[in-house]
Amino acid sequence: MVTTLYLIRHGETEGSAARRYYGSTDVPLSERGREQVRMTAAFIREIMGRKNGEGEGAILSPVYCSSLSRAVKSAQVLAGSLGVGTIAVPGLRERAFGVWEGMTFGEIRRNYPEELTAWEAGPVTYRPRGGESTAEVKKRAVKALEEILAGHRGETVPVVAHGGVNRILLCHFLGVPLKNIFRIEQDFAAVNVVEFWDDYPVVKALNVTLSFSGGVHG
């Protein structure tokens, strides 16, 4: 029995050009972001149409998403195109950056040089004050996704999350050490396709985008 996961990053957000670590801050989806998600939905429909034409049709689950509005709005656009509902899951939220929330990398380096050095030395276990570590995000995100997939075995499951969360999940599927999460790119509205043969994950596609460019940091 094969379960297919479409793991998607939300579309572009308002103010994304500033390249800030918004994390758990609830920034809105931009109109360009909505268009990116509409294009992604068309791409997914095309893939599913080809499979149906080859006799490989599968049941499509609701679109699951992070409870942050940029993911919720992206999921609603996607779900409207696919003809299903949406379900928000708090465990898929982007990492909380604590005192670093809303800052650029340069601002973090200037204002928190010692903390940044500590993070660079221990990127998996270090947490900014008031924030989460990579290991902590992995624990909740993997649990949330496993619970979603357990309820839809043999189905096709779209999930909309964030750049950081998606990188962590993809490292988990690939068996890649978490310290290497930034070796995996996640552009806005990018699609990753993972097939689960029973519980064994096979990554079929990574960071697929169409004619739009990406952004950074969830």
Q: For residue 35, count CB atoms less than 10 angstroms from its CB and return exposed for 0-12, middle for 13-18, buried for 19 or more.
A: middle
Identify the three-state secondary structure at position 200: strand
**Which of 77, 72, 76 is closest to 92 using CA atoms?**
72
* Tokens representing residue 29 in the block: 């989806």
Question: In the 8-state DSSP scheme, what is residue 213?
Answer: -
Q: Spell out the SS3 assignment of 92-153.
A: HCCCCEHHHCCCCHHHHHHHCHHHHHHHHHCCCCCCCCCECCHHHHHHHHHHHHHHHHHCCC
The CA distance from 38 to 74, in Å, is 9
Active site amino acids: 10, 94
**Which of 155, 141, 139, 144 is closest to 6 using CA atoms?**
155
Residue 179 · residue 138 · CB < 8 Å? no
The CA distance from 179 to 155, in Å, is 32
For residue 137, which amino acid is it? V
* Tokens representing residue 103 in the block: 């800052």
* Tokens representing residue 104 in the block: 């650029």
